[in-house]
Structure 1
Amino acid sequence: MRIMRLGGLFLAASLASAAAQAQGRPDMGKLMATGGVSQLEGAGGGGLAPWALITGYGSRDSWGANAHYTGVRTQDYTLDTAGVAVGLADRIEVSLAQQHFKGSLAPLNQLSIKQDILGVKLRLAGDAVYGQDVLMPQIAVGAMYKRNKGVGGLGALGVNNVTQLGARDDSGTDVYVAATKLLLQQSLLLNGTVRATRANQMGLLGFGGDKGDSYKAMLEVSAAYLVDRQLVAGVEYRRKPHNLGVDNEKAYYDVFVAWFPSKHVSVTAAYAVLGEITVFNPTRQRGAYLSVQAGF
């Protein structure tokens, strides 16, 4: 508890310091694409994994913000995410997102689950852009508080909460450390994130379960090639825990292309593989991912 209190005080002090630095109008001072895109849970990064980069184009003396919508369509499910995020002084990021997961194939064709996510990220060390002459990457720590808003469409089965599917809780917090290295001469971006989590399918099926309820460290990696100033292509992989007997949860991975026509808009398209979602529909889910972000 003492560590949590000290961590909260440090974060509050950092937020106050960043807010004091980030005064006036946004300066759009960062390089194109260096805020990343909006990740599925609302953080700045790739599509699947948060990166150590801070969202928006505000420099150390400014701030930036964006709004995004992401849609994922597989054979039997859809996932829609919408949210907003703010970056302060290229040091602090705060994000808010809502996910809406729906089924389209019986017996889960009426399934509807929503989840709210509040995220915060703090850059601790390094600089992905200006640290080209050192090996040290940009490093950030972050947390995502998630609250599941219940299960719809399964009333006939007497199910209206994820705990009735075997989850231990309907809310939880993920904590992660991300390291991002941008190699401008090689046109490469490399990211590694280690996330401590109890979440089932990002929290859409709750937290913990009959197969496990402890925090587990899961690796998430991204590699991207900067084709030119406006186009980025890459791959991502994200491990996830297997806590529920009704969900044979597997890793996520994707292949993506992100287009940045200007600093105000980005469009990301991907082919994503999400594994099996539940034993009621044991099919490997794969399909299209499309995300649009607008901001400054």
Structure 2
Amino acid sequence: MQPLLQRLISSLALLSLLAANQASAQHLPMPDKGRLLATAGVTQLEGAGGGGLTPWATITGYGSEDSYGVNAHITQVATQDYRLQTTGVALGIADKLEFSLAKQKFTGNLAPLDQLELQQDIVGIKLKIAGDLVTDQDSWQPQVAIGAMYKRNHAVQGLEALGITNVKQLGAVDDSGVDYYLSATKLLLEHSLLVNGTLRLSKANQMGLLGFGGDKRKGYQLLPEVSLGYLINRKLVAGVEYRSKPQNLAVDNEKAYYDAFLAWFPSKSVSLTLAYAHLGDITVFNPKNQRGWYLSLQIGQ
């Protein structure tokens, strides 16, 4: 892992150890759910709290500064030729620190990639460094957070007949890597509007499912991501998202992701997100724009 991610995870481990020592002396209290409904966002495709395609500066769960929040999610995206499933858990501590674990599984259903299966594990960490989503209504100060995602790709399955068992054989430089990002999120309660901007430093191909770096470009790129949400009422949010992507691989003319979504928050324990997503080309083997439905369920405390 990269030094920054190692330091962040070490800090999280220390906090967890201190919490465990305290819990040994007394029972761990239930989360207080002290934050406003919908202000925790939903779960992003890589496990972080925020939107569906891009992380926000929000911390997952509804725990206040004196508490914590935890949730689990399952997300599925189905296009004409492919299916992506993401499952994971996330923990928010003191509305300040977020830790997430996610697993992605990507499969094909159209020849010649109908047997294709790609998987990767993602460990994420996020730290709020400035501002507050709710209390800073009298200024333009957004909530700001930094984060990192360590991703590890598994072996390629379904292409053994072509002699391909690893993403490096598709042109990727590596089968693991780290994304770094900076997110700024502003909630304008008077206008029922949420705006998020994220800058991601990445060399991941298709989020890392096709490895990191490639035969066209190897290094990190700074990639912008944008989300816009409108609070129809306090339980329903509609919006759009855009996520730019690198073009590192000759076998993958990677395009930007974007979607239109509707997120429903019946309570602080459950959220359901429905979106129509455009994911662009995935590989040159099935060279057409991939579009389809995105559905995500999140439950937690």
Report the TM range for the smaller structure's normalisation: over 0.9
Q: CA deviation at 1:150?
A: 1.3
- Per the alignment, residue 93 of structure 1 pairs with 98
Q: CA deviation at 1:24?
A: 2.7
- Per the alignment, residue 12 of structure 1 pairs with 11
Residues 277 and 17 from structure 1, CA distance in 2 versus in 1: closer, same or farther, beyond 3 angstroms?
closer
- Per the alignment, residue 200 of structure 1 pairs with 205
Q: Percent identity?
A: 65
- Per the alignment, residue 280 of structure 1 pairs with 285
Residue 173 (structure 1) aligned with residue 172 (structure 2): no
Would you say the 8 A contact 1:19–1:89 is kept in 2? no
Structure 2: distance between partners of 1:248 and 1:208: 13
Would you say the 8 A contact 2:225–2:243 is kept in 1? yes
Q: CA deviation at 1:12?
A: 1.5
- Per the alignment, residue 53 of structure 1 pairs with 58
Residues 5 and 181 from structure 1, CA distance in 2 versus in 1: closer, same or farther, beyond 3 angstroms?
closer
Secondary structure at the residue paired with 1:29?
coil
Would you say the 8 A contact 1:18–1:91 is kept in 2? no
- Per the alignment, residue 188 of structure 1 pairs with 193
Secondary structure at the residue paired with 2:168?
helix
- Per the alignment, residue 222 of structure 1 pairs with 227
Would you say the 8 A contact 1:100–1:115 is kept in 2? yes
Q: CA deviation at 1:25?
A: 2.1
Partner of residue 241 from structure 1, selected from 238, 246, 250: 246
Would you say the 8 A contact 1:18–1:88 is kept in 2? no
Secondary structure at the residue paired with 1:202?
helix
Gaps of 5+ in 1: none
Cα displacement string for residues 200-240 of structure 1 (whole angstroms, at most 9, x for unaligned residues) = 00000000000111100000000000000100000000001
Residue 71 (structure 1) aligned with residue 85 (structure 2): no
Would you say the 8 A contact 1:15–1:92 is kept in 2? no
Residues 275 and 33 from structure 1, CA distance in 2 versus in 1: closer, same or farther, beyond 3 angstroms?
same
- Per the alignment, residue 276 of structure 2 pairs with 271
Q: CA deviation at 1:7?
A: 8.3
Structure 2: distance between partners of 1:246 and 1:17: 43
Would you say the 8 A contact 1:18–1:89 is kept in 2? no
Residue 62 (structure 1) aligned with residue 62 (structure 2): no
- Per the alignment, residue 134 of structure 2 pairs with 129
Residues 43 and 18 from structure 1, CA distance in 2 versus in 1: closer, same or farther, beyond 3 angstroms?
farther
Q: CA deviation at 1:42?
A: 0.3
Structure 1: distance between partners of 2:272 and 2:299: 9
Structure 2: distance between partners of 1:8 and 1:201: 26
Secondary structure at the residue paired with 1:152?
coil
Cα displacement string for residues 225-279 of structure 1 (whole angstroms, at most 9, x for unaligned residues) = 0000100000000001100000000000000000001111000000000000000
Secondary structure at the residue paired with 2:179?
strand
Q: CA deviation at 1:134?
A: 1.2
Structure 2: distance between partners of 1:133 and 1:84: 34
- Per the alignment, residue 166 of structure 2 pairs with 161
Would you say the 8 A contact 2:254–2:280 is kept in 1? yes
Structure 2: distance between partners of 1:125 and 1:17: 23
Residues 77 and 6 from structure 1, CA distance in 2 versus in 1: closer, same or farther, beyond 3 angstroms?
closer
Q: CA deviation at 1:14?
A: 10
Would you say the 8 A contact 1:80–1:99 is kept in 2? yes
Letter of the structure 2 residue corresponding to residue 186 of structure 1: H
Residue 290 (structure 1) aligned with residue 295 (structure 2): yes
Structure 2: distance between partners of 1:91 and 1:160: 40
Aligned pairs, number = 295
Would you say the 8 A contact 1:168–1:207 is kept in 2? yes
Residues 240 and 9 from structure 1, CA distance in 2 versus in 1: closer, same or farther, beyond 3 angstroms?
closer
- Per the alignment, residue 41 of structure 1 pairs with 46
Gaps of 5+ in 2: none
Letter of the structure 2 residue corresponding to residue 237 of structure 1: Y
Q: CA deviation at 1:5?
A: 6.5
Letter of the structure 2 residue corresponding to residue 65 of structure 1: V
Structure 2: distance between partners of 1:6 and 1:164: 27
Structure 2: distance between partners of 1:89 and 1:42: 19
Farther off after superposition, 133-142 or 5-14 = 5-14
Residues 214 and 73 from structure 1, CA distance in 2 versus in 1: closer, same or farther, beyond 3 angstroms?
same
Letter of the structure 2 residue corresponding to residue 34 of structure 1: T
